[in-house]
Amino acid sequence: MVTGNVDTHLPVTVLVQDTSSFSVDIKSQGYEGLIGLGPNTGSVIRDKLDSASGDSVLDRIFSQNTTSANYLTILLNREGDPDSPATGQLTVSEVLPQYSNITSMPKLPVTKVHRLTDEDQHWQVLTDVNGVLGPDGQPIQVDSIVPSAPDGQLVVVFDSGFTLPQVPRAMADAIYGRVRGAEYNTASEVWTIPCDQLIPLTFKFGGVEYPIHPLDVSSSDFNMVDSLGNPVCVGTFQPITSAFSLLGEYDIILGMAFLRNTYTLFDYGNFMENTAADRGDPYVQLLPITDVNTAHKDFVQVRLNGVDTTGDAAHSLLPADQMQHSPISEAEKKKAYEEMILSRWPYIFVGCLAFVLIVAGLITWRCCVRRRKRREAKAANMRLPDTSMPPRSPGAQAISFSRLEDGAMPDNMEMRESKGYSEYRTSDYHRPSFASSRTRV
């Protein structure tokens, strides 16, 4: 086993079966970049090779030991924080001893994307109702763009590849828009605030509150200045722009500024194809590791040189009706309109299909009705007159044909010849026919 380091400052363990030509300095051998820690689903390499030779890193690890659970844990460190862990740590199928109680935290089920777009599957879960508490301690009211999201909840993606978490624009405005001296930098599309401003922020998942360290709510690492040339810090929870979900699959991406405040467990479950023991639904567990009081002291020490001025009037929030709002670009408006259509395409498709079926049914019904009416009209035109009771000749009287007592016919009865069917036949075939006799008056 050989241990090395990557740019994310996470210790990495590499299994080397042939050490004869292996060097610890893997960078000198041309190995540099990011290691994907997702399942085969969505892997470009797996899709290109279309075979087990392109399986993801974790899929290979989990398939080597099918009796262990398919989970990964991540602990990130915070540079410049006196109480932060010295280094970040990553474990596979085991938890850190000092945070073993993570297994007792609520299991947050991963929300699945539509099967047709499963390549976009992320580690995404639902917040609680009113799951984001702003600087004033009140819930930040934002509607989800995900059609299937329950009312009052937002769909959150966990992604350690994002330094700055991405949140809806209205949420970013609610976090930073009431800070005195805050400005929105349209060129960089970020909020900037005075570095000595402490901003409380809390997320809620599974009934548990996860406070964010104030050193993670704003960052002094970007060397930015405001419109007056004063050094400012960048608000880390920024309006979601380039990472906006056109398919409406998520609302928020929580990157490192959030993940530094939790010890996080990702259980892959049935995301993995070649394992047997852990085949349940994937889930996420979060253990809060930020203590609010300790974090306050850290902020005072790092940003205020040990003098706590967070309660001064200069650091109070502006009234809600004076909150600043960041501008929305035309490109962002266009994305919002596109999302409204694309995210609802299954419903639009079903609606259109139902409309077509209804119209086709109405047309078929109308045609059947018209055809039936035509048949009835045609049958009525072809019906013969009723000849069962022929009309009487003038002056004729009905008589009874009952026999007389002696069997003779009445004296006033006479037989007369009448034309029958024979007169309508050819001349060489004449036959007299007799109609019923009538009584003369």
pLDDT digits (tens, 9 = 90+) for 331-388: 666 666 555 665 555 667 677 878 888 888 888 888 888 888 888 787 777 765 555 5
Q: What pTM did the predictor assign?
A: 0.69
Residue 157 in this model has a pLDDT that exceeds 50: yes
Q: What are phi and psi of 125, to 5 degrees?
A: -135, 175
Please report the pLDDT score of residue 149 as a whole number: 86
Please report the pLDDT score of residue 244 as a whole number: 58
What one-character DSSP code corresponds to residue 439?
B
Q: Is 156 in a helix, a strand, or coil?
A: strand
Who contacts 9 (Cβ-Cβ below 8 Å, separation ≥6)? 77, 87, 88
pLDDT in tens, 107-143: 999 887 654 445 566 789 999 999 999 999 999 999 9
Which residue's entry shows tokens 């500024």?
Answer: 257
Please report the pLDDT score of residue 438 as a whole number: 42
Give the span between the Cα atoms of 236 and 176, in whole angstroms: 10
For residue 12, the tally of other CB atoms under 10 A from its CB is 13
By percentage, how much of the chain surpasses pLDDT 70? 67
pLDDT band at 431 (very low <50, low <70, confident <90, very high): very low
Give the span between the Cα atoms of 439 and 441, in whole angstroms: 6
Please report the pLDDT score of residue 435 as a whole number: 43
What one-character DSSP code corresponds to residue 278?
-
Fill in the amino acid letter for 285.
Q
Please report the pLDDT score of residue 441 as a whole number: 40
pLDDT band at 67 (very low <50, low <70, confident <90, very high): confident
Cross-strand bridge partners of residue 203: 132, 210
Residue 288 in this model has a pLDDT that exceeds 90: yes
Q: What are phi and psi of 274, to 5 degrees?
A: -110, 35
Residue (of 132, 175, 126, 130) closest to 154 by Cα position: 126
Residue (of 437, 352, 329, 336) closest to 393 by Cα position: 437
For residue 81, the tally of other CB atoms under 10 A from its CB is 18
pLDDT band at 422 (very low <50, low <70, confident <90, very high): very low
What one-character DSSP code corresponds to residue 363?
H
Residue 298 in this model has a pLDDT that exceeds 90: yes
pLDDT band at 70 (very low <50, low <70, confident <90, very high): confident
Residue 214 in this model has a pLDDT that exceeds 90: yes
User: 263 exposed, middle or buried (CB, 10 Å; 0-12, 13-18, 19+)?
Assistant: buried
**Cβ atoms 338, 345 nearer than 8 A:** no
Least confident of 202-211, 244-253, 413-422: 413-422
Please report the pLDDT score of residue 1 as a whole number: 31
Comparison of pLDDT for 427 and 357, the residue scoring more: 357
pLDDT band at 4 (very low <50, low <70, confident <90, very high): very low
Give the span between the Cα atoms of 357 and 365, in whole angstroms: 12
Average pLDDT value for the chain: 78
Comparison of pLDDT for 239 and 112, the residue scoring more: 239
